Structure formats: structure tokens, C-alpha cells
Structure 1
């Protein structure tokens, strides 16, 4: 088994486990990112002279309270909306990414070794080369798997969108009751009927039909521009990780008493450090991507509907201020750093296991052949 295939399979396996463990945090974080909150003092959002309550209303409580609120209103299933396509996306993304990352890494190391033989360089891959390797692998991954993540984002935010639509229907009902002179009992009956319809997560096919109905095939590549730009996230992550890992191994090599393989716990910490730096640097792009991929009917307001990446950035700055680009960042740091740490740790251990099995296979076959020959 080649090391590229081993890394691809290990990345897929580690990614699935990390995704299952941290998925509730990811769901809440996506909802935090797509929740519109107008900056202080902003009243007129759409030129109507009216204040849009669906925009200025802030979500109550922190991450833990929001998780509990989701469980209360939607059950445990609400925290795992879109888990099936997410697991498929994780397996595909991590498998594709780590496979091509290893292919490009092997090539970069071969070039570095070749340069050393020619008297240029020390034979190690430089920081810029790590960035290029990660960027190439990330770009291929994004182009191939973006449709899956569009569906996941829709499924994670669908109940949030439906709740906003219900709020606007309620507002319209109150206005109609005032204009038509309804009595209290009629109004209460209408409101009770509206409240009886509870938003529930929908399935993958429903989400796919909705995306296709809105924008055709192009809808499955919504947010592709900020997502491609966000390739710098894993690029930064792997640059920090590979550089830190190389430095740690170099220090081990100079001290023969401690010369040994890097432990799983050390890989966990290095993965956490790498992901923390990458997340802080690229989080605003992640928010823009989530906004573009979420259901655009949230709030029904022109200020909340985006035609593209540039339009989303301009409207977010105008209506929400710079703070809008960092919504839910603390949740994302906890989720992504923990998930990346688990992924790195599991991936390294799975690669060792895969390569060990691959090495044992021919030896076992050779020993069996020898036994058969001896018996004959």
C-alpha cells in the first residue's frame, strides 16, 4: 500500500470519528455564523424606515445554552441535522485532501532531495513549499466536495430559517388582525395554528431539490470563492504543523537519549496549535461562506440576501459591522481545534497501522509459502 493511499484512508477514518464527536458544536456554530444581528443604532435596514426585528434580535445565551435550546425545541436530532451527508463529506474531503497532500508532499520532498544533490539547499522542504502543497491539495478537495457542504449547511440551518419565516408570518398576522379588527379569540386561534407547525430538520434529497430549485447546478457550488480562498486555512494549519513537527524531531535527533517517535499526545498538541492559528486567521471567510450557503430567505429582507461573495461582505460591513465576521468564533475554535487534534492523532496512528499491515502481508505470505514448500 502506498503512503498516499494509507494517508488518504487514515485521513478519512480519523475525520469521521472527529466529526461525530464534535458535530453538535459544528451545528450550533453554523447557526451562530448565519444569525443576522444588526450593529447598534442601525434602524433602517432596507430603506423602508422600519426596524427589522428578525435582524436585530440577538440569540440568547452562549454556546451551551444554545445547545440546550436546540435539544428542547428540536430534540437531539436537531444537533445532528445533516450528519449523514456531513460524514460522507468528511470521509470524501479528508480522503481526497490527505491523498493529494501526500502525493504533492512526496513530490516536494523528491525535489528538495534532488536540489541537495546538486548542492542547493539542505534537502528539507521549505515553509513556502508546504504552503503550495497544502494549497494544491485543498483546491482539488474544494472543487470536488463543495456540493456536499452546501447540503450540510442547508440542513444545519433549515430550522433556523423556518423559525425566521414563522416570526415574519406572525408579524404579518398581527398587522392583519389590527387592520381587520379581529377579536382576541380569533387572533389567538390563528397564532396557535401558526405555533403548532414546528420547524423540523429535513433530509438530504429535500435540501438538494431546494438548492437546485433556487439556482440550478450552480447552486451546489455556492460559496466556492471564499471556500477556495479558505484553502489558506489548511495551508496555514499544515505549515505550522509540519514546521513544528520537523523542529520537534530535529531536537529529538540532537539528544540521543530522547530520540524516539513523536507520541500521539504530542501530535494532538501540535494539531491543536496548528488549527488554532489557522482558524483565527481565516474565520471571517468561513462566516461569509456559511452565509452564502445557508437558505437566503432568512428574514425575507434585502439586507439579508446575498448575490455573491462581494455583496455579502459589503452588506455585512454595512448592516452588522466588523463584529459580524467573528460571530461564533469561540465555539468554532473549541470545535475545530479539538476536531483537528483528534484527527491528526488518529490519522498518524492509523497510518502506522495501515503501513504495518501492508508490511506484514508479504511476510506472512512468504512464510506460508516456505511452510508449504518444506511440507512437500
Structure 2
């Protein structure tokens, strides 16, 4: 192996984590920007009117303003640390595995992947991510969830927190991929300067 090949290989190994770094930055930015909507969604889901110490909220905007007024930023960012750690690690690993899958698929395709192979790479990366669990079994199975929700909360129980969740998901995906692409671009520019 020539000296230039050896240097090239060590540089690529040095930068093998750039997708993970960009993904981690994207996960952090997304949670930092969108966490108040997670707090609101959670409050809607747990406030079923039976707990009198929780204020009632008319809608998402009212919930955000009420939490901000009564609890300040601390209330809007309750639970931020575990959420940001989980998202940073999860997105970092996701993009690391996604890039590795794309590299594996592109070896025989001259670097160009079809939409199907991009989808397969994304699915592989997603399959390697395990859903988090607090280890507390609340329901026996999906059917039990449906029966208990219908029994105690009616049809509206199936839609608790849907508005803040929808308001969060579209911008969250946009933030994640915009930050990912821009951080990745900066890391690649830094690699070229080495």
C-alpha cells in the first residue's frame, strides 16, 4: 500500500463518524426547538379531567401560553435532558447506520442508488434502532390498549394530543434534515481542508 493510499485510508477512518455527528446535531436541534410541543402533547394525554391539580387547556396555543405563564421556560422544557440525550444518540446512530447501509448498497452500483435502495438503507438503519421503554408494562397488547381507551375515555381518547403532535412532526422532520445536511456539509468541507 502506497503512502498516499495509507494517508487517504486514515483520513477516511478519521471522518467515518461525520454522518453520526451531523445526525446527533440534528437530533439535538430538533428537540431544542420542538420540545414544548412534546410537553403539551403529554399534558393533553395525561389530563383526563380526573386530576384536579392540572389546569385544563382549550387548545395547543392556550396550553403553551398557560404553561409558560404559570411555570416559565422550566415548564415548557420539563424532561428536556432525557429527551435531548435520547434524540441526540438515536439520530446520531440512525444516520451512522444509514450511511453504512448506503455505502454497502452502492458498492455494486457505481455510487448511485435508486429510490428503492435509499428506502432499504433507511429501513435497515431504522430496524437497528430499538424503541425506548421505561420497563413498566401498562397494557397486555394492542387490543387491550384499544379496549381500555374506549372504556375510560371514549372516542376522543384516541385523539388526545394529536394537534400538538401534528404541529411538531412536520417542522421537526424539516429541522432534523436541514441541520443534518448543513452540519454534514461543514464536516465534509473540514475534511477536504485536512
Instruction: Give TM class, smaller chain.
Output: 0.7 to 0.9
Cα 1:131–1:31 change in 2 (3 A) is: farther
Cα 1:86–1:100 change in 2 (3 A) is: same
Alignment coverage as a number of residue pairs: 179
SS at match of 1:54: coil
Q: 8 Å contact 1:9–1:95 — kept in the other structure? A: yes
Aligned pairs for 1:355-374 (under 5 A) are 355-361=188-194
The aligned counterpart of 1:76 is 73
Whole-angstrom CA distance in 2 between matches of 1:320 and 1:130: 41
Whole-angstrom CA distance in 2 between matches of 1:99 and 1:360: 22
The aligned counterpart of 1:140 is 128
The aligned counterpart of 1:340 is 173
Question: Shift of residue 322 of structure 1?
Answer: 4.3
Whole-angstrom CA distance in 2 between matches of 1:124 and 1:32: 42
1:311 aligns with 2:137: no
Whole-angstrom CA distance in 1 between matches of 2:154 and 2:92: 37
Whole-angstrom CA distance in 2 between matches of 1:106 and 1:32: 43
- How well do the aligned residues superpose, as a CA RMSD in angstroms? 2.8
Whole-angstrom CA distance in 1 between matches of 2:165 and 2:38: 7
SS at match of 2:128: helix
The aligned counterpart of 1:30 is 42
Q: 8 Å contact 1:19–1:87 — kept in the other structure? A: yes
Higher relative contact order (CA 8 A, sep 6+): 2
The aligned counterpart of 1:66 is 63
Question: Shift of residue 309 of structure 1?
Answer: 3.6
Equivalent residue for 1:54, pick from 47, 50, 57: 50
Cα 1:136–1:66 change in 2 (3 A) is: same
Whole-angstrom CA distance in 2 between matches of 1:105 and 1:97: 12
Superposition TM-score, scaled by structure 1 size: 0.43
